[in-house]
């Protein structure tokens, strides 16, 4: 529920990408946004108002003379109630009209009458996008403070390849979430480790930890949404790279250690979420071990470096945050870990509460004591942890 209570007017204009706006309504709604759809006449040639009505659960507004508005001022009423007007797809014609302040249909009138921010996701043929008239309009709109997201490059409905394709609904959703997130980490460099590490025994076998990587990836997204420049050093997981985040893929604890130590010098905040293997195999084999070759193999282990403790002991250490996943005595173990590794903040959770799932229950431990957070989806907790970090580092 990343957009809980946000009122968004989704404007849909005439273009083939209008079919993707249907999915966008669903994604925005799933995150708790209250979505009101307004369509231009052109848009209705691609998708019907019924589709949007069914998905948003509300009547769709089509023209400024709509008799359902008691005072015949739909444009004022609708845009005054909104926290954001998002137009996706925004056609070349629509951008030209609003760049020039025209109010010749309901959506353009709402845009002109708005008191809230405006975000456009352009979608058009690449030649139309490159045309100097469109580029002039884009420059005017940017100067007017309109947020333009995309367009992306790629294959277009017309068969051509180039810039002009609307961002995918998931990408637009990320932009909207970013738009609403308070920028408490603005300009900060945040380094995060996530996922498990894998310590090879031979080329096909290894020792690893159970870790989905979800909490670390949620933190990377949350940090990115709140204005940080994020580097995510990730062990092997099956998760997509969050938009705008720089991911450094690693496998073993030693690789993770090296990647982190390289980036730690520039970081303002370091969050160690990875489930790093405590030991690696000292006698890893170069070739696959065979079962019928002289009995049970002996695996010799050596200790891995403690990445978090090493970063925390750097002379100009970033603000360090650790995680403690315990199966019992959470507070005592978490506080002991905080002192031992010399980190100001530890997020603790009981393994039985959050492993592999979307939700988690965590408690933050700092100099002031324990701060239990209400159980919630990992992204929601990640945002709260970011808020706490911002408070402790003086950004809030
Ligand atoms: O000591 P323990 O593994 O319980 O500590 C957990 C915290 O320390 C986590 O934040 C984890 O990412 C970090 N850690 C690390 N390097 C290790 C072991 C743990 O960064 N070798």
Both 302 and 275 in one domain: the answer is yes
Query: Which neighbouring-strand residues pair with 376?
Result: 360
* Domain CATH for 33: 3.40.50.1950
Which ligand 1 atom sits nearest the alpha carbon of residue 341? 8
- Evaluate if residue 356 carries a pLDDT over 80: no
C-alpha to C-alpha distance for 147 and 157, rounded to whole angstroms: 25
- Evaluate if residue 264 carries a pLDDT over 80: yes
39 domain residue, yes or no: yes
The terminus-to-terminus CA distance of the chain in angstroms comes to 23
Phi, psi (deg, nearest 5) at residue 229: -100, 110
- Evaluate if residue 38 carries a pLDDT over 90: yes
Both 193 and 316 in one domain: the answer is yes
* Domain CATH for 312: 3.40.50.10300
- Evaluate if residue 32 carries a pLDDT over 80: yes
Share of the chain above pLDDT 70, in %: 96
206 domain residue, yes or no: yes
1 domain residue, yes or no: no
In short, whether 337's Cβ falls inside 6 Å of ligand 1 is yes
2 domain residue, yes or no: no
279 Cα: distance to centroid of ligand 1 (angstroms): 12
Both 156 and 12 in one domain: the answer is yes
Q: How confident is the model at residue 158 (pLDDT cuts 50, 70, 90)?
A: confident
Task: Check if the beta carbon of residue 20 is closer than 8 Å to that of residue 166.
Answer: yes
In short, whether 124's Cβ falls inside 6 Å of ligand 1 is no
In short, whether 308's Cβ falls inside 6 Å of ligand 1 is yes
Tens digits of residue pLDDT in 280-312: 999 999 999 888 777 888 899 999 999 999 999
Both 328 and 382 in one domain: the answer is yes
C-alpha to C-alpha distance for 39 and 51, rounded to whole angstroms: 12
Q: Which two tokens stand for residue 298?
A: 């002996």
Task: Count how many domains the chain has.
Answer: 2
Both 149 and 176 in one domain: the answer is yes
Q: Which of 22, 78, 89 is nearest to 50 (CA)?
A: 22
With H, G, I as helix, E, B as strand and everything else as coil, classify residue 246.
strand
pLDDT value for 164: 93
Tens digits of residue pLDDT in 224-245: 999 999 999 999 999 999 999 9
Annotation says 153 is catalytic: no
* Domain containing residue 326: 189-394
pLDDT value for 71: 62
Which ligand 1 atom sits nearest the alpha carbon of residue 274? 12
The string over 314-325, giving b where at least 16 C-beta atoms fall within 10 Å of a residue's C-beta and e elsewhere, is eeebbbbbbbbb
Q: How confident is the model at residue 331 (pLDDT cuts 50, 70, 90)?
A: very high
Q: Degrees (nearest 5) of the Cα angle 388, 393, 396?
A: 65
Which ligand 1 atom sits nearest the alpha carbon of residue 273? 12
Both 174 and 203 in one domain: the answer is no
pLDDT value for 350: 87
In short, whether 252's Cβ falls inside 6 Å of ligand 1 is no
Both 105 and 161 in one domain: the answer is yes
377 Cα: distance to centroid of ligand 1 (angstroms): 23
pLDDT value for 316: 94
305 Cα: distance to centroid of ligand 1 (angstroms): 9
In short, whether 233's Cβ falls inside 6 Å of ligand 1 is no
Q: How confident is the model at residue 160 (pLDDT cuts 50, 70, 90)?
A: confident
- Evaluate if residue 247 carries a pLDDT over 60: yes
C-alpha to C-alpha distance for 295 and 328, rounded to whole angstroms: 38
In short, whether 134's Cβ falls inside 6 Å of ligand 1 is no
Both 156 and 173 in one domain: the answer is yes
Phi, psi (deg, nearest 5) at residue 365: -120, 125
Both 128 and 222 in one domain: the answer is no
pLDDT value for 58: 92
- Evaluate if residue 182 carries a pLDDT over 80: yes
Which ligand 1 atom sits nearest the alpha carbon of residue 193? 12
69 Cα: distance to centroid of ligand 1 (angstroms): 59
* Domain termination residue (choose one: 147, 180, 213): 180
Write down the mean pLDDT value for the chain: 93
Task: Check if the beta carbon of residue 220 is closer than 8 Å to that of residue 189.
Answer: no
Atom 5 in ligand 1: which residue has the minimum CA distance?
Answer: 324
Both 205 and 139 in one domain: the answer is no
343 Cα: distance to centroid of ligand 1 (angstroms): 11
- Evaluate if residue 138 carries a pLDDT over 80: yes
In short, whether 276's Cβ falls inside 6 Å of ligand 1 is yes
Q: What is the mean pLDDT of residues 69-85?
A: 77
- Evaluate if residue 357 carries a pLDDT over 80: no
275 Cα: distance to centroid of ligand 1 (angstroms): 7
pLDDT value for 144: 94
pLDDT value for 317: 97
pLDDT value for 360: 85
Q: How would DSSP label each residue in 109-155?
A: HHHHH-SS-EEEEE---HHHHHSHHHHHHHHHHHHTT-EE--PEEEE
Pick from 274, 319, 342, 345 the residue to mutate for probing ligand 1's pocket: most ligand atoms within 8 Å of its CB: 274
C-alpha to C-alpha distance for 213 and 210, rounded to whole angstroms: 9
Which ligand 1 atom sits nearest the alpha carbon of residue 340? 1
Task: Read off the pTM.
Answer: 0.89
Q: How confident is the model at residue 74 (pLDDT cuts 50, 70, 90)?
A: low
In short, whether 194's Cβ falls inside 6 Å of ligand 1 is no
C-alpha to C-alpha distance for 127 and 179, rounded to whole angstroms: 29
Helix 169-180, helix 214-225: angle, nearest 10: 60
């Amino acid at each position: 529920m990343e957009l809980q209570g946000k009122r968004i007017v989704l404007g849909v204009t005439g273009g083939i990408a209008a079919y993707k706006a249907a999915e966008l309504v669903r994604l925005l709604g799933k995150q708790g946004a209250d979505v009101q759809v307004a369509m231009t006449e052109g848009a209705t040639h691609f998708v019907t108002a019924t589709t949007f009505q069914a998905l948003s659960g509300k009547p769709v507004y089509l023209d400024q003379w709509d008799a359902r508005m008691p005072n015949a001022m739909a444009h004022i009423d609708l845009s005054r109630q909104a926290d954001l007007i998002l137009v996706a797809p925004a056609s070349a014609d629509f951008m030209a009209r609003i760049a020039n302040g025209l109010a010749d249909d309901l959506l353009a009138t709402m845009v002109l009458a708005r008191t809230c921010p405006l975000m456009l996701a352009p979608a058009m043929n690449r030649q139309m996008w490159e045309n100097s008239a469109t580029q002039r309009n884009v420059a005017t709109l940017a100067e007017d403070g309109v947020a333009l997201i995309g367009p992306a490059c790629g294959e277009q409905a017309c068969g051509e390849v180039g810039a002009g394709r609307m961002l995918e609904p998931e990408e637009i959703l990320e932009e909207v979430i970013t738009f609403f997130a308070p920028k408490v980490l603005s300009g900060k460099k945040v380094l995060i480790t996530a996922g498990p590490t894998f310590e090879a025994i031979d080329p096909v076998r290894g020792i690893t930890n159970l870790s989905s990587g979800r909490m670390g990836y949620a933190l990377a997204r949350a940090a990115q949404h709140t204005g940080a420049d994020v580097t995510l050093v990730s062990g092997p997981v099956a998760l997509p790279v969050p938009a705008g985040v720089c991911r450094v893929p690693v496998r073993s604890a030693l690789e993770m250690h090296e990647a982190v130590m390289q980036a730690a010098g520039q970081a303002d905040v370091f969050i160690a979420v990875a489930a790093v293997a405590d030991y690696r195999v000292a006698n890893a084999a170069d070739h696959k071990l065979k079962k019928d070759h002289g009995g049970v193999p002996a695996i010799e282990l050596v200790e891995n470096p403690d990445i978090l403790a090493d970063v925390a002991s750097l002379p100009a250490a970033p603000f360090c945050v650790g995680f403690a996943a315990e199966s019992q005595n959470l507070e005592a173990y978490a506080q002991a870990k905080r002192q031992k590794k010399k980190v100001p903040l530890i997020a603790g959770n009981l393994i039985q509460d959050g492993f592999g799932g979307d939700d988690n229950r965590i408690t933050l431990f700092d100099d002031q004591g324990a701060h239990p957070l209400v159980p919630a989806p990992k992204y929601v907790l990640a945002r709260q942890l970011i808020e706490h970090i911002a408070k402790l580092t003086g950004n809030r």
